[in-house]
Chain A
Amino acid sequence: MEAVRDLSFQIGKGELVGFLGPNGAGKTTTLKLLSGLLYPTAGSLSILGHVPFKRETEFLKKFSMVMGQRTQLWWDLPARETFRLNQKIYEIPDPVFRKRESELIELLELEPLVNLPVKKLSLGERMKAELACALLHEPEVLLLDEPTLGLDLVMQKKLRHFIAEYNRRTQSTILLTSHNMNDVQELCKRVMIIDEGQLIYDGDFDRIIQHFAPDKVVAISSSQPIPMETLKDLGQILSHNGASAKMEVPRQSVSRVLEQLFKRIPLLDLTVEELPIEEIVRRVFLRTRSQSQSQKNLFAPGEWEIQEQEKKGMRERPLPEP
């Protein structure tokens, strides 16, 4: 079975790149290829001048991988023991090891936790210990597979903050996969969107919005009920709830629509926002699917109602540059 194909990209030193895609898109497969866990049937790849599958010690020492919800920490023992084990495995000299260990423990707020058996830690605490463990040898390349999977929001934020900080401080190259948009949005300047094993976008995160989302969301609330009819001709209504409503408006006609709204409705509040990035990416996936599967209708009605003419419009939009 082919999990990825026609996937080619280059990542420079010190970059923090996000891999985005729905489940089963081939994100993990790509990471496994990069880490040498999978043997590519065709094509070539090289990291730091090494071919991953050859598993040269020199390469392995410069690289690390963290897999969300998996652990290399010994379950019944304090995380500190596994740290020591990795010290021996990566041949880290004692003073260097002590310095890095205490740094990581401080940065990740692991102080009492590293001395408790790993099985007693919460998922988030374990993930932090896991990261510390993977970073002890200060890898030049770090692969993070769903690092925030299953964590609560506070913990997600802490981890993201740490990763960004780490990248800045050590100038290490970090590749991160996630289906959590916030991870990528906050951390990565560059993002690669992958679906069905193919790269469908590779570029700046900020440009995704321009690239895929020609529409903006206008939200209004009024002092009195808004009749549907008054909005109908202005844009596509996303939600309508008595005295408040949300609609999607083409970028270029935003000012015209606002003008009309002021005229027609006694407004209390008005905001203009970008489409949520999840929605944009969802649309990107929908489009590639509908293309690769020709005319098969794969549009599942989601929270965003998509009308017939909208679908047609989306198909006619140009493909993103490779």
Chain B
Amino acid sequence: MKKYTLVWWKLAEMSFLMQCANRWSSLGWLGGKIVRFVFFFIFLTAIFRHVPNVAGYSLTQVTFFYLTFNIVDILAQLFFRGIYMIGRDIREGDMDFYLIQPVHPLFRISSNLIDFLDFLTLIPVLVLTGMVLPKILGALNFPELTLRLILYGLLCANGVTIAFSIHVLIASLTVRTQQMESTVWLYRDVASLGRFPSDVYSELFRAILTFVFPIAVMVSFPSKALLGILSWDKVALAFFLSSILLALSLGSWKSALKHYCSVSS
């Protein structure tokens, strides 16, 4: 465990050094992310000038859904972004080096592009969340409050786990087919549907977002748990789904590696 922490920090440091070498570009990416975050935020607040609620949620609640989406999404990107590049890693032979090092290849690949800019974008998101939380939880007694916060934290972690599994599934697919890496972008697009509370989508589509592309479980369930509107069977379902996905993805990764046929030099 200590080894993995050290390696992770070193990789993070190296990515940071690389970003410093390309600081204008990095600033641009950071700017773009902030623009996206701020504009969606403005949009969500602006919409409440025209309507009293969205799918039954108040401004605070919708904001909270949006912030939670950002937390899970940013964390997933922070930890797993390296997987986006797996196609290139395979083509250029870097994958071979990862495989002969005494660390888990999935860890090595995921941590290959740790982005400090994500830390920077995470800060305002967390600050805003801290500001919104009291408004949602203000009236609760202490045990109830702790319970909800713990459940929220667990479900967020669960969301990150689901994101990880999806990344691993895509990585396995890429190893198997030597292409398909663009499916990662498809995932990013579908995940962006989680900006709004899942209740804005029709019943059928909500089911798809729960069971097929479990984006709702990933980003909407934590907020619902915190709001106290997620039934216990849904909580169980969330953990059940993520365990199955995780097992499935790790299994597929293992078998993909067996089929891995590295490019010849």
Contacts and interface: CB of A to CB of B under 8 A. Distances in A.
Given A37-B262, A38-B261, A69-B265, A89 B103 contact: yes
B101 interface: yes
A63 B100 contact: yes
Given A61-B102, A86-B101, 20 more contacts: A28-B264, A28-B265, A29-B264, A39-B260, A57-B102, A63-B100, A64-B100, A65-B100, A67-B96, A74-B14, A76-B22, A84-B10, A85-B11, A88-B3, A88-B6, A88-B10, A89-B103, A90-B102, A91-B3, A145-B265
Contact of B100 (A60, A76, A82, A117): A60
Interface in A23-44: 28-29, 32, 35-39
Contacts of A91: 3
Contact of A81 (B17, B96, B103): B17
Interface in B1-58: 3, 6-7, 10-11, 14, 17-18, 21-22
A271 to B, nearest CB: 39
A89 B102 contact: yes
Tier of interface size on chain B: 20 to 34
B185 interface: no
B93 interface: yes
B144 interface: no
A63 B102 CA distance: 10
A168 interface: no
A81 B14 contact: yes
Interface in A78-98: 81-82, 84-86, 88-91
B261 A85 contact: no
A70 interface: yes
Interface of B: 3, 6-7, 10-11, 14, 17-18, 21-22, 92-94, 96-97, 99-103, 258-262, 264-265
Contact of A85 (B10, B18, B92, B93): B10
A232 B77 CA distance: 77
A67 B21 contact: no
A60 B93 contact: no
A51 to B, nearest CB: 13
Nearest to A145: B265
B14 A85 contact: yes
Contacts of A4: none
Nearest to B2: A91
Given A76-B18, A77-B14, A81-B17, A37 B265 contact: no
Contacts of A67: 93, 96, 265
**Does more than half of chain A's interface fall in helix, strand or loop, or is it mixed?**
mixed
Interface of A: 28-29, 32, 35-39, 55, 57, 60-61, 63-65, 67-70, 72, 74, 76-77, 81-82, 84-86, 88-91, 117, 145-146
B14 A32 contact: no
Contacts of A64: 100
Tell me which of B6, B22, B96 has the highest count of chain A C-beta atoms within 10 A of its own C-beta. B96
B7 A89 contact: yes
A63 B7 CA distance: 19
B58 to A, nearest CB: 47
Contact of A39 (B7, B101, B258): B258
A140 B258 CA distance: 25
Contacts of A65: 96, 100
Nearest to A91: B3
Contacts of A90: 101-102
B99 to A, nearest CB: 6
Contacts of A70: 92-94, 96-97, 265
A25 to B, nearest CB: 12
Given A38-B262, A77-B14, A85-B11, A72 B97 contact: yes
A307 B11 CA distance: 61
Contacts of B258: 39
A77 B7 contact: no
B101 A146 contact: no
Nearest to A32: B262
Nearest to B112: A74
Contacts of B265: 28, 67-70, 145-146
Contacts of B6: 88
Contact of B96 (A37, A57, A77): A37
B7 A36 contact: no
B101 A89 contact: yes
